[in-house]
Structure 1
Amino acid sequence: MRKVGCLSLLVVLLAGIALFVVVQSWGGSGPAPRTLTVDVADGSTLAKAAAELETAGAIPSASRFRLYARIFGSGDPIKAGEYRIPAHASQSDILKLLQGGKALQRLVVVPEGYPSVLVHDALAKADGLVGSVPVPTEGSILPDSYAFQRGDTRASVVTRMQRAMDAYLVKAWAARKPGIAVTTPAQAIILASIVEKETGKPSERRMVAAVYGNRLRLGMPLQADPTVIYPITKGRPLGRRIKRSELQDKNGYNTYASPGLPVGPIANPGRASIDAVLNPEKTTALYFVADGTGGHVFANTLAEHNANVTKWYAIRRARGEM
């Protein structure tokens, strides 16, 4: 009887050890030596995902992973996506990651005022996107952060960016204030692109939009430096001062050489600049110039403006810029 009791105790002990090993294998540190990226394709079964995980080195055995998942897992389905597996992640945590659908999020970021050539550059550099796409039409992209998955096409991302702009413009145009200077959504985008490039100070956008609106009504040239630069660089930085000949060049964009709006946008304006054009400040100001703090000082008359320009030049001379 003593031998039988000892044998039973040994069996229990071995079973306990085996259970401990299994639990440790499932919930303990995994074999991944570093952060890994694993793709789970649409329609993948647990078996296919397990095979991908084993190949990547995230788990020691696909068959044991499936077995443990049936024993210890919740039974929830896994979700397709690209997953970032942390170094030494447990098999338990990996299954939860796949079931929770917390896939790696890739982004293409389009800042406010980005010209389309730089949007094109960002798309070209985005790791995971495939296919080529031409430079988008200027002003057709809504600045924002756009998520994508590995294998998405660049053309599909551009389509989402343009649909976002179309949807926002429809909504914003419907809410426009009466009596504004622009008469079509296309004109609103053109003017908003100029406002976007003329001030980086959010609090000034409505005031800058109002000045340009006042000038449009009076038939005055807008005299916006960014419109002179655009046909030269297509939105990339000029890297030098504007030449006198460039200020006199009639090319459809130069608002020094011709009154009215340019023939097209000079950037992709953000929501705030579009809103500023469609709901400008109430003012009679016709001029503005930099004030040395990153903002601008506004004036109703040319005499006031010239005095402000004199102050700005003094600031620049004191900085050694002139």
Structure 2
Amino acid sequence: MNKRLSQIGTGLVVLAAAVVAWLWWGPGPAAKGARVAIPEGIALQRATDYLHYAGAVNNRTVFYYLARLLGEGDPIQAGEFEIPPGASYSKVLDIIQHGRPVVRLITIPEGMPSVLVQEKLQTVVGLTGAAPLPAEGSVLPNSYDWQKGESRAAVVARMQAAMTRTLDELWAAKKGDCPVATKEEAVILASIVEKETGKPSERRMVAGVYCNRLKMGMKLDADPTVIYPITKGRPLGRRIRRSELDAVTGYNTYREPGLPDGPIANPGKDSIAAVLNPEATKALYFVADGTGGHVFAETLAEHNANVQKWYAIRRQRGEM
């Protein structure tokens, strides 16, 4: 009789173990997969609720106690996670502890002004709160990941922290003799370089021209600086007026020598690097060459000849 009872007990233990194994490693309830967003600082018990609401777990109590018994004790990650169809309880726990969150990206192009950064963030569905207006030049253009439910202010803060880190690194590696005395001045000049050329290969040369002008006390004569107080970095959509070239704005580099009062956009890493290591050149002038780039000159006479060539190209295109 005792032997019989012992066999029954052993059988029940084996059966219980099989049930536990099936519940833990067997197919889960998410027939079509599920997506779950786990907030920051959530522990296992609370995370179980989020998994249940998302359809990845059909019995919160069973999942929680099996996770405590059989799972790893690693912390739960914050983020949004993709749960594949039929994922077992074991797999679900592994995903929220060790898996890579769903990546959503927002891209800030080089030279985007802060008003457009703010507008772009405000249109991103899934972020929360109002998008702050970052100080001009404080955001590093790049692609940034974000999580559903994250605040727009938090994303801006990451963009600004990236600019601070990058600027510190580039400043420490500064070469050449461009007369920018502070990191802030480097960003101001880099924002002008960013707006003046769309060709990466020209950045150091354009920076070299402006550095030469600063050293000589010449005016920078940069159209984008004249436009900035009018549009805050948005396209002007027309030619600059004579009255605007004469206006006192703190940004009119046709009227006053030296740098404008502040950046006119958010410059990229390469434009900042160009200012801090400009091309060694004697050039003082440049004008468009009709191909999207520029032709450079050391003397005013040479520059004027280049300007006439550019005018001829524009007349040929019917732009003048």
TM value normalised by structure 1: 0.82
User: Match of 2:120, SS?
Assistant: helix
1:81 aligns with 2:78: yes
Equivalent residue number for residue 184 of structure 1: 182
User: Match of 1:196, SS?
Assistant: helix
List alignment gaps of at least 5 residues for structure 1. Answer: 1-7
Greater alpha carbon shift after TM alignment, 224-233 vs 302-311 = 302-311
User: Match of 1:139, SS?
Assistant: coil
Equivalent residue number for residue 33 of structure 1: 32
Structure 1 pair 260/26, CA: closer, same or farther in 2 (3 Å)? same
Structure 1 pair 70/132, CA: closer, same or farther in 2 (3 Å)? closer
Structure 1 pair 154/278, CA: closer, same or farther in 2 (3 Å)? same
Structure 1 pair 317/59, CA: closer, same or farther in 2 (3 Å)? farther
User: Match of 2:265, SS?
Assistant: coil
1:225-264 counterparts in 2 under 5 A?
Answer: 225-264=223-262
Question: Are the equivalent residues in 1 in contact too, given 2:77–2:98 (CA < 8 A)?
Answer: no
Shift of 1:284: 0.7
Backbone CA RMSD of aligned residues: 3.2
Structure 1 pair 64/320, CA: closer, same or farther in 2 (3 Å)? farther
Distance in 1 between the 2:175 and 2:255 partners? 30
Shift of 1:25: 8.6
Question: Are the equivalent residues in 1 in contact too, given 2:112–2:266 (CA < 8 A)?
Answer: yes
User: Match of 1:276, SS?
Assistant: helix
Equivalent residue number for residue 41 of structure 2: 42
Q: Which amino acid aligns with 2:217?
A: G
User: Match of 2:79, SS?
Assistant: strand
Question: Are the equivalent residues in 2 in contact too, given 1:228–1:255 (CA < 8 A)?
Answer: yes
Question: Are the equivalent residues in 1 in contact too, given 2:36–2:50 (CA < 8 A)?
Answer: no
Equivalent residue number for residue 275 of structure 2: 277
Q: Which amino acid aligns with 2:271?
A: S
1:170 aligns with 2:139: no
Question: Are the equivalent residues in 2 in contact too, given 1:32–1:59 (CA < 8 A)?
Answer: no
Q: Percent identity?
A: 55
Equivalent residue number for residue 5 of structure 1: none
1:141-220 counterparts in 2 under 5 A?
Answer: 141-220=139-218
Count of aligned pairs? 310
1:315 aligns with 2:319: no
Shift of 1:89: 4.4
Question: Are the equivalent residues in 1 in contact too, given 2:71–2:93 (CA < 8 A)?
Answer: no
Equivalent residue number for residue 103 of structure 1: 101
Q: Which amino acid aligns with 1:302?
A: L
User: Match of 1:289, SS?
Assistant: strand
Distance in 1 between the 2:318 and 2:91 partners? 59
Equivalent residue number for residue 4 of structure 1: none
- How big is each residue's C-alpha offset from its partner over 1:238-292, in whole Å with a ceiling of 9 and x where there is no partner? 2223233322322111212222211111011122111111111111111111222
Shift of 1:195: 0.4
Shift of 1:42: 1.6
Shift of 1:66: 4.1
Question: Are the equivalent residues in 1 in contact too, given 2:33–2:56 (CA < 8 A)?
Answer: no
List alignment gaps of at least 5 residues for structure 2. Answer: 1-7
User: Match of 2:42, SS?
Assistant: coil
